Amino acid sequence: MKGKVNTEFSYELFENGLDFILSGLENLGKKQLDKRAYKFGILHLAAGIELIFKERLRREHWSLLFENIDKAHAAALANGDFKSVGFESLVNRLANIAKVCIAKNESQTINELRKKRNKAQHFQITDTPAAIESVTAQAVSFALDFIKKELSQPKMNKQELDTLEKIKNKLTDFKAFVDNRWNKIQSLLQKYKEDKAIVVDCVQCLQKAVIINGEHPKCLFCNSEFKPLNLASDWASQFLGISDYDHIKDGGPSPTMICPSCKEETLVEIGKHKAQWLCFNCATSWESGDLDTCTICGNLFEMEEMTVCDNCFDKKIADPNT
């Protein structure tokens, strides 16, 4: 009996996941992408990937599909009357129990897709078509790799194989769009680089095409424009996993610091070694060891002989008792 329940459920879960991904692509691939097609496209794509993840967990053990494993019950599974595992636990269980590792750039893609999904649910749509094409191409490529690696054994049935084939066909259009777009912007991007602009990953389309050069940051790939302050904190949250929310709530590290050069709070520690620090406003960058933390105010300043920043030094001179 238990085996039977399991088989029926498996059929629904996997095939459903593939079907949702295909529907997502069909909606997002429409020639005239209206709000409705966008909304259902993003919702279906995100749902499809979540179902594929769940299918992998189910193959580990069906009880892992319950948010609370203590309440796992075959009958509840069969009639769908249970609280199913939330996305965060789902990803944790995949990693910790099923030993499925998802690379950092892949989980960034999935997170971006889920962010777009949450916005779509509330009708806040700010995406450009290019950003949608790009994130879709990356998310579906990831899903196909995941299926190949984690779900191709035992053999898929005909229906599953057919749907998978349709997904692959649709994906080609999205990938072609991305390639074409890169062909178009490549030489312009090169020009900006020659003019000393720094290029970083885009928080909207995930392509490395955002120009930081002291003017308004903009993405050449998806044409999104950003306010330096917003981009700095979104960028830190997206690519470094450091958010304002955690900073305020748990006292974690601050995603943005005050720039020693322009004094805006748009400085982000974007990487290790070369160009360790980058200001998203004035485009000044510093390498590792160039900046130090002021022992009085905690702001970063350009390292010299001192242990405090100019600002605190001047205050100290004016009033030694401060």
Please state the closest distance from residue 184 (CB atom) to Zn ion, in A: 14
Task: Count, in order, helices (H) and strands (E) of the chain.
Answer: 10, 8
Q: Is 229 in the site for Zn ion (CB under 5 A)?
A: no
Candidate ranges 21-29, 157-165, 172-180, 274-282; the one touching Zn ion (CB under 5 A)? 274-282
Least distance to Zn ion, CB of residue 286, Å: 10
Number of residues that bind Zn ion (CB under 5 A): 18
The single residue listed with the structure tokens 């979540």 is 50
Binding-residue pattern over the window 144 to 183 for Zn ion, x denoting contact by CB under 5 A: ----------------------------------------
Neighbours of 144 (CB within 10 A): 16
**Minimum CB distance to Zn ion, residue 268 (Å):** 11
Neighbours of 98 (CB within 10 A): 16
State the Cα–Cα distance between residues 322 and 157, nearest whole angstrom. 76
Q: Which of 18, 28, 49, 222 binds Zn ion (CB under 5 A)?
A: 222
Task: Work out how close the CB of 212 gets to Zn ion at its nearest, in angstroms, rounded to a whole number.
Answer: 10
What one-character-per-residue DSSP string does 269-285 give?
E--SSTT-EEETTT--E
Residue 296, amino acid? I
Rounded CA-CA distance 187/157 in Å is 46
3-state SS record for 134-149: HHHHHHHHHHHHHHHH
Residue partners of 203: CB distance under 8 A and separation at least 6: 112, 210, 226, 231, 234, 235, 238, 239
Would you say 57 or 199 has its CB closer to Zn ion? 199
Residue placing its CB nearer to Zn ion in the complex, 65 or 178: 178
Would you say 74 or 296 has its CB closer to Zn ion?
296
Residue 35 structure tokens: 């709000």
Residue 281 sits in the site that holds Zn ion (CB under 5 A):
yes
Nearer to Zn ion, 89 or 293 (CB): 293
Give yes or no for residue 294 binding Zn ion (CB under 5 A): yes
**Is residue 262 at the binding interface for Zn ion, with CB under 5 A as the rule?**
yes
Q: How far is the CB of 17 from Zn ion (least distance, A)?
A: 28
Q: Is 309 in the site for Zn ion (CB under 5 A)?
A: yes
Nearer to Zn ion, 28 or 312 (CB): 312
DSSP assignments along 202-222, one per residue: -TTT-SEEEEESSS--EETTT
Q: Is residue 285 a contact point for Zn ion (CB under 5 A)?
A: no
Among the listed ranges 186-194, 246-254, 294-302, 314-322, the one in contact with Zn ion (CB under 5 A) is 294-302
The first and second tokens of residue 129, run together, are 């078509």
Span of 70-78, 163-171, 184-192, 221-229 interacting with Zn ion by CB under 5 A = 221-229
Query: Should residue 5 be labelled a site residue for Zn ion when binding is judged by CB under 5 A?
Result: no
**Per-residue H/E/C for 48-70:** HHHHHHHHHHHHHCHHHHECCHH
Q: Which residues bind Zn ion (CB under 5 A)?
A: 202, 204-205, 219, 221-222, 224, 259, 261-262, 279, 281-282, 294, 296-297, 309, 312
